[in-house]
Amino acid sequence: MKVKNVSLVEKGTIVTPKGFQVAGLHSGVKRKRNDLGVLYCENPANAAAVYTLNKIQAAPIHVTKATIAKENKIQAVIINSGNANACTGKQGEIDAYTMQKVTAEKFGIKDHYVAVASTGIIGLEMPMDKIVPHIAQLSLGISDEHAKAFGESLLTTDTFQKSICFQTEIDGKTVTMAGAAKGSGMIEPNMGTMLSFITTDANIEPNMLDMALKEVVNQTFNCITVDGDTSTNDMVIVLASELAGNESLTPEHEEWSTFIKLLTNTCEELAKQIARDGEGATKLIEVEVNGAKTDEDAKKIAKSIVGSSLVKTAVFGTDANWGRIIAAVGYSEVEVNPETIDMAIGPIKLLEDSQPTGFSEEEATDYLENEHIHIYVDVKIGNGSGKAWGCDLTYDYVKINASYRT
C-alpha cells in the first residue's frame, strides 16, 4: 500500500470539500463578535465524533452523543460561543434540544440529523431569547466570507481563526478534507475547551470514520496542552459527504493509509494552531521525544515537558533553562536512565548523556526568540517516539484568565 501525497489547499476552507455550506452571525450572546454558526451538508453526512473525558459534561455533549447514536448521520451542526451550556441542569438539556429542534425546522431536516456544540462560560443559563430567533437568520453559503463568519462564531478568547484544508487522490478521485476549530484555555491532553469541525467529501462508512478518528485524535488533539485544564465541552466531529466518488474506505482499501494521512495532517495542523493560540501565548512549542521504551512513554514525556509551567515561562523568557526540561522528564513517571539523556532546542545541542555540552547561551537565547520552538529529547533506552505541542506561559495568560467573566 503506497501512501499518496497529501497536499495543502492554500485557500481552502471548511466548505471546500464537496457538499458543505456554512453561516455565522452575531446573536448577542457575546458582546461583539459572531457567536452563532451552522455547518450544513446537502445530504445527511456520515458522522463520527470524540468527546471530552471530563466527568462533568455539558448539555450539548449529551445531546450530540445521543443524536449521533441514532443513525450515525449528521446534516447540520449548530454552534454557539459565549455560553457553554455546562452545569445548567435540566434547563440546559432542554435548551440544547431546543437549539437542535429549531435548527432542524429551519432546514427541514430530521431532529436527529442536527448536532449541537457550545463553548464559553460555564454555569450560566443559555440566553435562548437571543439564540432561537437568530437561528432562522442563518444564511448558508460557500464564499470565503461565509467561512470567515462561521469561523468567528466559534471563538471565545481565541485571537485567530483555526482552519486548514488538504487534498489527496483516492481511486483516481480528488478527495478533500478541511477543518475549523476553536481552542484557547483549558486545552490539555484528552482535549479541553476545544471544538473541531472536520468536513470531507470522502466516501467512508461511519464505523470506519469513527475508527480512523479515534486513532488520529490520540496522536494529535490529545497531545496538546495549554494549561492542564480539561473542559466540559470538547468535541471533534467529522462529517463525510461521500461526494468525492471514491470506493468506500476501509482498512482493506489499498488507499486507507492515504486517508489516515489526510486525516492526520488535518488534525495535527488544527492542533498546532490551537496550541499556538493558547491564551496569551506568543510561541508554539513542539516537543519530540525519541528513545523511550514505548511510543506511549515518549508521548508521556513530551506532554510532561510541554505542560510544565516552568518550561513554558522559560521559553517565554527566552531562557534555555534545560534543568527545568530534564526535571519534567524526571517527573513524567516514565522509565528513563538519568545518565543517558540527550537534549536540543532547534539546532542547538544542550545536553549529551545528561551533561551540558557547553553550548552558547547567546545562541540559545537567539533561537528562543523564534515563534515556533522545537525541543528534542532522546532518552536512549528504547525505540519509542512521540510528539506533543503547547505554548509559552505569559503575563497575558494571567491577565485573560483573571478577568474572563468580570
Provide the minimum distance between the beta carbon of 216 and a copy of itself in the complex, in angstroms, as a whole number.
22
161 in contact with a copy of itself (CB under 8 A): no
Provide the minimum distance between the beta carbon of 263 and a copy of itself in the complex, in angstroms, as a whole number.
26
403 in contact with a copy of itself (CB under 8 A): yes
Provide the minimum distance between the beta carbon of 354 and a copy of itself in the complex, in angstroms, as a whole number.
6
Among 123, 127, 141, 382, binds a copy of itself (CB under 8 A): 123
Q: Give me the catalytic one of 64, 67, 193, 394.
A: 193
Among 331, 358, 362, 369, binds a copy of itself (CB under 8 A): 331
Among 49, 235, 336, 348, binds a copy of itself (CB under 8 A): 336
222 in contact with a copy of itself (CB under 8 A): no
User: According to CB under 8 A, which residues from 59 to 118 bind a copy of itself?
Assistant: 84, 86-87, 89
391 closest CA partner among 264, 162, 227 = 227
Known catalytic membership, residue 193: yes
User: According to CB under 8 A, which residues from 243 to 282 bind a copy of itself?
Assistant: none
401 in contact with a copy of itself (CB under 8 A): yes
309 in contact with a copy of itself (CB under 8 A): yes
Among 9, 94, 109, 327, binds a copy of itself (CB under 8 A): 327
Return d(Cα 5, Cα 169) in angstroms, integer.
8
Among 1, 136, 338, 371, binds a copy of itself (CB under 8 A): 338
Provide the minimum distance between the beta carbon of 35 and a copy of itself in the complex, in angstroms, as a whole number.
18
- Give the interface segment with a copy of itself, choosing from 9-17, 27-35, 169-177, 309-317 (CB under 8 A): 309-317
User: According to CB under 8 A, which residues from 35 to 54 bind a copy of itself?
Assistant: 53-54
Provide the minimum distance between the beta carbon of 89 and a copy of itself in the complex, in angstroms, as a whole number.
5
Among 119, 231, 258, 290, binds a copy of itself (CB under 8 A): 231
> Which residues neighbour 186 within 8 Å (Cβ) at sequence distance 6 or greater?
192, 193, 194, 226, 227, 229, 230, 231
397 in contact with a copy of itself (CB under 8 A): yes
Cβ closer to a copy of itself: 52 or 266?
52
Secondary structure, 3-state, the chain: CCCCCCEECCCCCCCCCCCEEEEEECCCCCCCCCCEEEEEEEEEEEEEEEECCCCCCCHHHHHHHHHHHHHCEEEEEEEEEEECCCCCHHHHHHHHHHHHHHHHHHHCCCHHHEEEEEEEECCCCCCHHHHHHHHCCCCCECCHHHHHHHHHHCCCCCCCCEEEEEEEEECCEEEEEEEEEECCCCCCCCCCCCEEEEEECCCECHHHHHHHHHHHHHHCHHHECCCCCCCCCCEEEEEECCCCCCCCECCCCCCHHHHHHHHHHHHHHHHHHHHHCCCCCCCEEEEEEEEECCHHHHHHHHHHHHCCHHHHHHHHCCCCCHHHHHHHHHCCCCCCCCCCCEEEECCEEEEECCEECCCCHHHHHHHCCCCEEEEEEECCCCCEEEEEEEECCCHHHHHHHHCCCC
399 in contact with a copy of itself (CB under 8 A): yes
Q: Residues interacting with a copy of itself, by CB under 8 A?
A: 53-57, 84, 86-87, 89, 121-123, 185-186, 188, 227-232, 307-310, 313-314, 316-319, 321-324, 326-332, 334-336, 338-339, 351, 354-356, 365, 393-395, 397-399, 401-406
**So which residues are the catalytic ones?**
193
